[in-house]
Amino acid sequence: MTKQRLRQRILSKLATMAPNRRLLKEQQLYQQLFSSPNWQKATTIGITMSKAPEIATQPIIEQAWAEQKRVVIPRTQSNERLLLFCNYTKSTPTQSLRGIEEPLPTAAVIDAATIDLLIVPGVAFNTAGYRIGFGGGYYDRLLGIYRGTTISLAFSEQLVTELPVEAHDLPVQTVLVAE
Ligand SMILES: Nc1ncnc2c1ncn2[C@@H]1O[C@H](COP(=O)(O)OP(=O)(O)OP(=O)(O)O)[C@@H](O)[C@H]1O
Ligand SMILES: [Mg+2]
């Protein structure tokens, strides 16, 4: 199956998940994340604002703030397909680009090497950590240079055994799965 077909298939599965199952599984994933040593020792969390039907990331951001962690979120640089991370606090203004909230173009960019824990979004994953994202290659480029800890959260609906992997695709270190 092509990446594009698999993306569509998984996204439609996510969009039709029963709302109560989704809420329960999200809570399980958050608890797995917050109890992990990688979360507990991280002081700077890199995370992308989610858009439906992805796993919601706002509760993760709120928890990081509650634990006095620094949160950084990316701005997309579409010409070079790079992610530029900026500090994100309750008072940081954002703008929506393709349905995802991003820092304004004027926000100061931080060095991604200061991120201790990078929470990597994705549509589909395999158990080895390979992933299919939204097709921009943004996270593949970042994973090529980022040397810190990487983790993804997935509903069992997002785990696939036959995941197409190309030479530029890079895995995350850990995929937390809510069965
Ligand atoms: N490190 C890279 N350097 C140059 N091009 C890349 C790199 N990584 C990915 N690409 C290109 O980006 C495009 C999209 O890649 P792919 O379909 O794997 O996206 P994706 O994994 O779904 O996206 P993302 O990584 O943002 O989640 C492809 O055309 C691919 O060749
Ligand atoms: Mg890829």
What's the pLDDT tens digit per position in 156-167?
999 999 999 999
Residue nearest atom 2 of ligand 1, based on CA coordinates: 141
Residues 93-143 have pLDDT tens digits of: 999 999 999 999 999 999 999 999 999 999 999 999 999 999 999 999 999
Residue 113, classed as helix, strand or coil, is: helix
Predicted confidence at residue 137, as pLDDT, reads 97
pLDDT digits (tens, 9 = 90+) for 52-101: 999 999 999 999 999 999 999 999 999 999 999 999 999 999 999 999 99
Count of beta carbons in the 10 Å neighbourhood of residue 121: 20
Average pLDDT, the chain: 97
Q: Answer whether 125 contacts ligand 1 (Cβ < 6 A).
A: no
* Strand order through the sheet with 70-77: 82-87, 70-77, 44-46, 117-119, 149-155, 174-178
Residue 1: pLDDT band with limits 50, 70, 90: confident
Judged by its nearest atom, the ligand closest to the C-alpha of residue 121 is 1
* Length of the chain (residues): 179
Q: How deeply is 165 buried, as exposed, middle or buried, from its count of CB atoms within 10 A (0-12, 13-18, 19+)?
A: middle
pLDDT of residue 81: 95
Q: How far is the CA of 115 from the centre of ligand 2 (A)?
A: 21
3-state secondary structure of 141: helix
In this predicted structure, the answer to whether residue 12 has a pLDDT above a threshold of 90 is yes
Domain ranges of the chain: 3-71+113-178
All residues at 6 or more sequence positions from 145 whose CB lies less than 8 Å from its CB, including other chains: 112
Nearest residue (by CA) to ligand 1, atom 30, is 137
Mutational test site, ligand 1, from 100, 140, 145, max ligand atoms within 8 Å of CB? 140
Q: Tell me which fold the domain 3-71+113-178 belongs to.
A: Rossmann fold (3.40.50)
DSSP string, 17-78: S-HHHHHHHHHHHHHHHHTSHHHHH-SEEE-PPP-TTSPP-HHHHHHHHHTT-EEEEEEEET
Q: What pLDDT shows up at residue 179? A: 81
The number of the ligand nearest the C-alpha atom of 152 reads: 1
Residue 59 near residue 46 (C-beta atoms within 8 A):
no
